[in-house]
């Protein structure tokens, strides 16, 4: 019992060093952004200083444009990510449990994944107009594949001895899935969700760039058309922040779920 605090202290020191290192790296980056363009003689329309970008973000925020467009993009990302992840999880489990269905549908799913998603954006805009729906559809397409592949692979590689053990206890097919196969796929599911959380931001941004009248992608195109380089950087920074928050939310959920997973599996046996 006394060894536990001794083990925690080195971990806390390592964590603190990592946080300090990341903070120092961020500070260096911000300082270079502020003073670097001037030292290199870059004009402001090519690379605005950090203070100029911050000033432009304040102006855009006070006008209400930045807040409104950020909310639209965030909503599109959340909905597209949720629907794409649910679809990927459902189809991944279905194909993992049915080799026949996998053999029949895999070529078509692969073809859908190989097709460039950017090519679908104009088509969706033509079908659904300048609404949020084309952006959500692109996000669904991009999010779907990594989640589906990870879940499918995890279901396929479940330890057969675990399945046989549960079968000896007269478990039904649903109980085998609930107690063994699905818990075994959780780690792979969250690995796919980590990737998908960043891809959702890319998908929505592509949709807004191709055909949008609101959102950060539209704001970026609008600033570019006006020659407002600082406004372009504001949109990029906001998209990056949304992506970081989305990724952090998945990591937080993963720690909450997988932290209790071993106990749940032990108790189920």
Q: What percent of the chain stands above pLDDT 70? A: 89
**pTM metric for this prediction:** 0.83
Greatest distance between any 2 Cα atoms in the chain: 75
Query: Taking the mean position of all CA atoms in its chain, how far away is CA 224?
Result: 26
Say which CATH topology domain 45-268 has.
MetI-like fold (1.10.3720)
d(CA 200, CA 219): 18
pLDDT at 266 over 50: no
Domains of the chain, by residue range, sit at 1-42, 45-268
> Is 212 in contact with 201 (CB distance < 8 Å)?
no
> Is 69 in contact with 214 (CB distance < 8 Å)?
yes
Q: State the CB neighbour count (10 A cutoff) for residue 214.
A: 19
Structure confidence at residue 10 as a pLDDT band (50, 70, 90): low
Average pLDDT for 244-249: 94
Q: Per residue in 170-193, is it b (16+ CB within 10 Å) or e — as a string?
A: ebeeeebbebbbbbbbbebbbbbb
Structure confidence at residue 265 as a pLDDT band (50, 70, 90): very low
Query: Taking the mean position of all CA atoms in its chain, how far away is CA 57?
Result: 24
Residue 79 or 180, more confident: 79
**What's the confidence (pLDDT) of residue 234?**
92
Give 184-238 as a DSSP string.
HHHHHHHHHHHHHHHHHHHHHHHHHHHS-SSSHHHHHHHHHHTT-HHHHHHHHHH
Per-residue pLDDT tens over the stretch 165-210 = 888 887 787 888 888 888 888 889 999 999 999 999 999 998 888 8
d(CA 97, CA 117): 28
């Amino acid at each position: 019992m006394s060894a536990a605090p001794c083990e925690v202290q080195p971990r806390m020191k390592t964590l603190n060093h990592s946080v300090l290192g990341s903070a120092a790296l961020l500070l260096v980056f911000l300082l270079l952004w502020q003073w670097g363009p001037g030292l290199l003689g870059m004009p402001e329309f090519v690379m605005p200083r950090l203070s100029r970008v911050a000033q432009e973000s304040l102006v855009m925020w006070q006008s209400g444009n930045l807040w409104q467009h950020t909310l639209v993009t965030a909503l599109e990302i959340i909905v597209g990510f949720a629907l794409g992840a649910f679809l990927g999880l459902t189809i991944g489990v279905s194909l993992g449990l049915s080799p026949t269905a996998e053999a029949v549908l895999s070529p078509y799913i692969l073809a859908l994944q190989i097709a460039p998603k950017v090519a679908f954006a104009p088509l969706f805009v033509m079908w659904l107009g300048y609404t949020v729906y084309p952006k959500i559809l692109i996000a669904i397409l991009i999010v779907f594949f990594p989640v589906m592949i990870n879940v499918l692979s995890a279901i396929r590689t479940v330890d057969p001895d675990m399945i046989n053990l549960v079968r000896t206890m007269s478990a039904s097919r649903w109980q085998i899935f609930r107690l063994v196969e699905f818990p075994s796929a959780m780690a792979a599911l969250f690995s796919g969700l980590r990737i998908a959380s960043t891809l959702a931001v890319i998908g929505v941004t592509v949709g807004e760039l191709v055909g949008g009248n609101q959102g950060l992608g539209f704001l970026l195109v609008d600033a570019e058309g006006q020659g407002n380089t600082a406004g372009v950087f504001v949109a990029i920074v906001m998209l990056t922040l949304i992506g970081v928050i989305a990724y952090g939310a998945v990591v937080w959920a993963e720690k909450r779920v997988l932290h209790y997973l071993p106990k749940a599996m032990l108790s189920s046996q």
